[in-house]
Amino acid sequence: MLGYISSTRKKSCYSCVKSKRRCDLGYPFCKRCFVKGIDCQYPGSSPRESSKSGSVVIRQTTTDFAEPPAATTSSSSDALISIDTIANDANLDPLLFLPDASSGSSSSPESFDELSGLDDWGWEIPKVMPYPQPHLTRMLMPEYEVPSYLNEAQVTFIIHGMCSFVPAMAYAGSTAFLHKNLYQDYEPQAYQDCVAICALYLTKTVRNRHILANSINAKIAGMITESASWTLPQHLAAVQALTIYQIIRLYDLELNLQEHAAKHNRLLELWSATLWKRAFTEEQSFSSTYTSWIFHESLRRTIMMSVFLRCGWSCLTKGGLADQVPVLARLPLTKDLEAWKCEQEDWSVRSLSFMSEEESLITYGDMSGRWSAAENKVEELDAFGRLLLAACRGKDDPRLLA
């Protein structure tokens, strides 16, 4: 997934040396620094030092890069968009990578006024960002996962999987990225509104479609207005709600809201990126390690599903092209998927209760790379795990799509 320091300069990064931990020499981030969200610097990594000590080996890897399938999935547009399939720095979605710790920013932006003032959410990145831009070295990855083409069966499976979040939200108030105990003590307004909208959606008829559409638009407008004063839990609930609203509007062709919803993908991207940064810079207090894990794992999965959603829309409208693979491959989640079902009384006996966050996490790219059709049993996967693996390993193992 990432590049590695050349054999002529095998020196651990400064952070691992300081912490006396083993460094895997990943470049531009070692895995430990990436998971912990800290800056990763190597001896000789600056332009001045590099000229003296050698260069970094560039080694490209691909996941499942192939020609686009002859038969593509149905699209909301008659003409599929033609794009350059070569990965570039725009595909890396730099908004999801934390700014350099040396940039002088020690806290997240306190206002989203820049966002609420825009009438039309275009695809261009604003010239003035509400938080510092990442360093160029963090955007020009020497080794990367390239966008992949998914076949029709994969696209259909992941779209249906995401659409299942809507009834789950209406009936249970939780999804695969929103833990059932996340808002046990406090329910943000965005969360309550989302549950109500999902319940309304399940009663959708020809006569109340416009009510549903207007209600969703009003809820999004309200979140934009209130975004300047969000706490971190409120920010998380807003991203979760917008993800659900986008699923409804993008994937239900009967509502005819795709054009307007596609523009809000940019809004979802900005909110998700800022949420990711705030998670590293704002301390939260929790009553137990269990509640702490619930919050942080829900946040990690929410970020992943917000990117996954946009990737699914790309597949649907660009002939199966999964353009967010470079971002998804680097996002972390807990290795033990079964922990999501664990109750508090059973938490103390699980290994997660005494493992460090670094030890308990795995990137999506590593998770998919370790999947073996011969060694792993599909029936042992929950719906969330199957959704993730079907997207990247469905061609290799058709059982994931059954």
99-146 per-position pLDDT tens digit: 333 333 333 333 344 443 333 333 333 344 444 444 434 444 444 456
- pLDDT confidence of residue 24: 81
Is the pTM higher than 0.85? no
- pLDDT confidence of residue 226: 95
Q: How do strand 321-322 and strand 361-363 relate by DSSP bridges?
A: unpaired
Q: In this structure, what are the phi and psi dihedrals at residue 5, rounded to the nearest 5 degrees?
A: -65, 140
Please, which residues have CB within 8 angstroms of residue 265's CB and are 6 or more apart in sequence?
121, 246, 309, 310, 313
Q: Are 195 and 237 in contact (CB under 8 A)?
A: no
pLDDT tens, position by position, for the chain (402 residues)? 333 444 444 578 888 888 888 888 876 677 777 777 677 787 765 444 433 433 333 333 333 434 454 444 444 333 332 223 223 333 334 445 433 333 333 333 333 444 433 333 333 333 444 444 444 344 444 444 567 899 999 999 999 999 999 999 999 999 999 999 999 989 999 999 999 999 999 999 999 999 999 999 999 999 999 999 999 999 999 999 999 999 999 999 999 999 999 999 999 999 999 999 999 999 889 998 899 999 999 999 999 999 999 999 999 999 999 989 989 999 999 998 989 998 888 887 777 766 777 788 999 999 998 888 778 888 889 999 999 999 989 888 888 998
**Tokens 């700014």 appear where?**
99
- pLDDT confidence of residue 257: 94
DSSP-assigned letter for residue 116: H
- pLDDT confidence of residue 347: 83
Question: What gap in Å lies between CA 325 and CA 311, rounded to an integer?
Answer: 8
Q: Are 60 and 143 in contact (CB under 8 A)?
A: yes
